[in-house]
Chains A and B, each alone.
Chain A
Amino acid sequence: MIRTSRLPRISDKIEVGMAWLLGFLWIAPLVYVFWAAFREPAVALTLNPFQGWTLDNIESVWNSAPFDRYFQNTVLLVTGLATTQLVLGILAAYALARYNFPGRDILFAFVLLQLMIFPEILLTENFRLVSNLGLQDTIPGIAIPYAASAFCIFLMRQQFKAVPKELVEAAEIEGASRLETLWKVYLPLARPTIVAFGLVSVSFHWNNFLWPLVITRSPESRPVTVGIVRFLSPETGIDFTSLTAGTVIVVTPLLALFLLTQRQFIQSFMRSGIK
C-alpha cells in the first residue's frame, strides 16, 4: 500500500489537469466566437474587456434577413415532426413489441435497416418525389420524408418490451381495448423514453441543414440553419462580423434550451444511446 499511495496522487493530479485542459479546448472556440460577436470589429480580436462592447453586429445581421420568420419555421417544423414521429413510432412499436404476427421479424429487420439510410442520402429522388407531391418549398415538404423515424420505432419497441405482462393482463381483465391498454399501461411507463426521443428529435431537426436547403427556396419556408448560411459564408468573401454574429444567432436558442434542461438532455441522450 505504501508503494502505491504516492504514485496515484501524482497521476490523479495529471488526470484532473488533463480533464480541465480538454474541457478548455472544447469550450474555448464557442466562448471565443460569442466574445467576438459582441465586440466592435476594430477591437474584436483583442482581449481587453473594458472597451469595445457592442450589439451592432447582432443587430445588423438580424435586420438583414427575416430571422423571426426563420425561427418560426424551425419551431413549427421541429414540434410538428417530433409529434408525428412519436405518434407513428409508438403505434408501430406497440405492434412490434406486443403482437406476434406474420412478417414481424422481417418488418423489424426492415426498420433496423432504416436506421442507416436517411432520406437526405436520397436527396435527388426525394426532391423529385416531394416536388411531385406539390410540397416543394413548404414546411410539410421538409418534414414529410422524416415523418416516420426508424430510431423512434426501435427505441419505443425496446421500452415496450420491458412492460410487465401482469399489468397488461390486468388491463385486459378490466375490459380495456388494445388501444386503451397502449394509452393507459404502455405510454405512462414509457414517458422517460418519449421525452428522451423528443429531445433527440428536436435537436436533430433543429440542426438539420442539407434536406431543408434542397427543398426550400423562399424565406416563407426556410428554417434558420438554411437562412443563416449566407451570413456564415457569403460569396463576397468572409467577413468577421456577420460570421460571428450569425453563429450566435443560430446557436443561441437551442443552446439556451440545452443549458436550462441539461441534466434531462444529457440523460435523454444517454438513455437513447444505451437502448
Chain B
Amino acid sequence: MEREHDSPTATAGRRHPDEVAQHDQPAFAGPRQGPLHHLRRIPNPVFAWLLMVPALVFLGGFTVFPAGSALWNSLQEPGLDGGVGTAYYEQMLGDAVFRRSLINNLLFSFITVPVSIAVAMLMAVLVNRKIRGRGLLRLAYFTPAMLPVVAAAAIWLFFYQPNFGVLNTIARWLGFEGQNWLGSPSTVLPALMVMMIWHQAGFFMLFYLAGLQLIPPELDEASQLEGAGRWYHFRRVTFPLLMPTTLFASIVGLANSFKQVDFIFVMTQGGPNNASNMLLYYIWQTTFPQRRPEYAAAITIVLVLILIVLALIQIRLFERRIHYR
C-alpha cells in the first residue's frame, strides 16, 4: 500500500483512494513541490536505511571501529619490525598490576551492585507508601545520584581525611582511634565502595519505584485481608514481582561499575600501591602517563569482552520480556 502511495504515476484505473483525495484537494499538493519532493520516490526499505545511516556512522565509528583497531593494535609484536602475535596478552598474564586491577574491579562490582540494589529496594518500598514527607524523602535519596561522580568523590574525600575528616572526628568522640581510610590498602576499597553505594542507590530506587507501580494494588489488599505481615508480603509478593527490575538494575549497575572510574582520579589515583586501581583507570595509566598504547589496547579488549558478555545477557533478558508480552 505504501509502495503505491510512493508512485504518483499509478494508472487512473488502479488509483488508490489516497491518491484521489490528494488530487481533489490542492491544499495537500504543497509538499510535493517542496525540496524533499524526490524523497517520495525512494522505496521504504531504502528510506529506512537512509534514516539509520547517520546514527550508524557515529555508533560504529566510535565503538566498533575503535574496538577493532584496539584488537589489531593489541595483536602487534613489540618492536619496530614485529609481526602479529600475542606478546601483549602474555605480558598481561604476568602483570601484577593488571591482576590487582581486575580483582579490585570484580570485588567492587560484585559488592557495590548487590548492596546498592538492596538499599534501593528498601528505599523504594519505604517511600512507595503514603507516609508524611514522602516527596522530601525521595528527593533526599535521589539527590546524590544527580551529582557528578567527581563531586561525590570530593565529598567523601573530605569525610575520609585523616586530620580534619568527619569520620575520624566522630571516631575520636566515640573514643576510637582515627584511620587513614584512603591511605591504607585494607580500608581503601571498602571506603570507595561506601561512596559508590551512596552515589548510586537513589538512581536504582527510581527503577524500583517504576517497578512497584506495575504491581496491582489488589495484591496488597489481598495480603492485608489474609492478615499477612508486611515482611511476609514483601518476601512472597513484592520481591518476586520486582525480579525483572532487579535483573535490569543489576546489568546496568554491573556495566556501570566497569566504566566508572572518575572517583579514582579524585580520591586515590589508584593507590596506595594499586590497592584501588581498576581496569579502566589502568587503561588510562598505561595509555597516557606510561605511554604504552598497545598494551592499553590489550587491556581494553578484556574490558570490552566483559561488557559484551553483559550486553548479551541483557539482550537475552530483553527478548524474554518481549516474549512474555
Contacts and interface: CB of A to CB of B under 8 A. Distances in A.
A105 to B, nearest CB: 11
A8 B232 CA distance: 12
Which secondary structure dominates chain B's binding surface?
A: helix
Contacts, number: 298
A244 B158 contact: yes
Given A148-B54, A179-B36, A233-B157, A125 B300 contact: yes
Interface stretch (A49-57, A185-193, A267-275): A267-275
Contacts of A101: 44-45, 48-49
Interface stretch (B78-86, B92-100, B101-109, B280-288): B280-288
Interface string A197-232: 000000100111110011000000000010011001
A177 B31 contact: yes
A127 interface: yes
A23 B141 contact: yes
Contact of A262 (B40, B139, B151, B157): B139
A201 to B, nearest CB: 14
A189 to B, nearest CB: 18
Contact of A119 (B47, B63, B153, B266): B63
Interface string A78-112: 00000000001101101110110111100101111
A76 interface: no
Contact of B39 (A92, A128, A178): A178
Interface in A6-38: 7-8, 11, 15-16, 18-20, 22-24, 26-27, 29-30, 32-33, 36
Contact of A233 (B25, B44, B119, B267): B267
B52 A112 contact: no
Interface of A: 1, 3-4, 7-8, 11, 15-16, 18-20, 22-24, 26-27, 29-30, 32-33, 36, 45, 88-89, 91-92, 94-96, 98-99, 101-104, 107, 109-129, 144-148, 150, 153, 172-180, 203, 206-210, 213-214, 225, 228-229, 232-233, 238, 240, 243-244, 246-247, 250-251, 254-255, 258-259, 262, 265-266, 269-271, 273-274
Given A91-B54, A91-B55, 9 more contacts: A1-B227, A30-B144, A91-B52, A119-B62, A122-B66, A179-B39, A258-B146, A265-B146, A274-B210
